[in-house]
Amino acid sequence: MFGFGFDFMYILFIAPALILAMLAQWMVRSAYQQMSQVRASMSGYEAARRILDAGGLQSIDIEQIPGQLSDHYDPGAKILRLSPEVFSGHSMASVGIAAHEAGHALQDARGYAPLRIRNLAVPAAQFGSSFGTILLMIGMVMVFGNLAFLGKWVFLAGIVAFGATVAFQLVDLPVEFDASSRAKVQLVNLGIISGPELPYVSKVLNAAALTYVAATLQAVLTLAYYIFRFMQATSRER
């Protein structure tokens, strides 16, 4: 019977994602540290600025924000925000990350459909991640308690809400991979890096991409676990 305590079945479901997530984090840190030692011809800010300007996006501002690897593009404010190490760093790691975020700005300007869908899905994903989880917890307690009939519908509502988070993760994957692809092309085409230097940048971007894969896998497997528990609870009523 399931309660709020330890559930070994949940660990079995998400174990592959947890292992992949730990591997991805190690790879990101390792790649970033290694590529931070390989010098680039310009800073992350300069690389991002050149990519944006070449794409006709002179109106997109670039600002420095605190934190480590806190880099992101804000489609609402039309601002590219870079962490101090990426903003000022003259390394392959800094250039690669800055170019990736500039890739998101290019997606936004070109009307890249998956990015638009992702931006529209953000409120639903936030709702599913918070309120959906609450419904799932309440529903499971009710289902495996004395309020099975009502709990089943609460549980199902939680699954649907959490499904919005999973959908967001699935849409996010092509967005991130495409941004990295755009970054690599622009870095070489604009002469920011040479062809032989591309593997250095790719090492950082590929490691970062693995973290998105791990997050998506964990969301999918977590949803599978909740569906399994719902089916288990439903079968108990027969």
Report pLDDT for 192: 96
Q: CB of 115 within 8 A of CB of 107?
A: yes
Cα–Cα distances (Å) from 211 to 100, 170, 205, in that order, read 15, 13, 10
Taking alpha carbons only, the member of 31, 72, 35 closest to residue 193 is 35
Q: Is the dihedral of CA 49, 50, 51, 55 positive or negative?
A: positive
3 state SS of 73: strand
User: Residues in the chain, how many?
Assistant: 238
Report pLDDT for 91: 95
Instruction: Give 55's DSSP letter.
Output: T
Report pLDDT for 108: 96
Report pLDDT for 3: 44
Report pLDDT for 145: 65
The values of phi and psi at residue 39, to 5°, are: -75, 145
Q: CB of 156 within 8 A of CB of 226?
A: no
Report pLDDT for 1: 39
The values of phi and psi at residue 91, to 5°, are: -135, 165
Annotate 153-209 with DSSP letters as a single string: HHHHHHHHHHHHHHHHHHHHHHHHHHHHHHHHHHHHHTTSS-GGGHHHHHHHHHHHH
The values of phi and psi at residue 60, to 5°, are: -80, 120
Q: What are the residue ranges of helices labelled H in the chain? A: 8-35, 44-54, 84-88, 92-110, 113-143, 148-189, 198-236
Taking alpha carbons only, the member of 223, 225, 237, 86 closest to residue 167 is 223
Per-residue confidence of the chain (238 residues) as pLDDT tens digits?
344 445 778 888 889 999 999 999 899 989 999 999 999 999 999 999 999 999 999 999 999 999 988 999 999 999 999 999 999 999 999 999 999 999 999 999 999 999 999 888 888 788 777 888 888 888 877 876 666 677 788 889 999 999 988 999 999 999 999 999 999 999 999 999 999 999 999 999 999 999 999 999 999 999 999 898 888 877 765 5
Q: CB of 105 within 8 A of CB of 73?
A: yes
Question: Which residue numbers are catalytic?
Answer: 101
Q: CB of 23 within 8 A of CB of 217?
A: no
Cα–Cα distances (Å) from 187 to 91, 97, 106, 177, in that order, read 13, 11, 13, 15
Q: What global pTM score does this model have?
A: 0.84
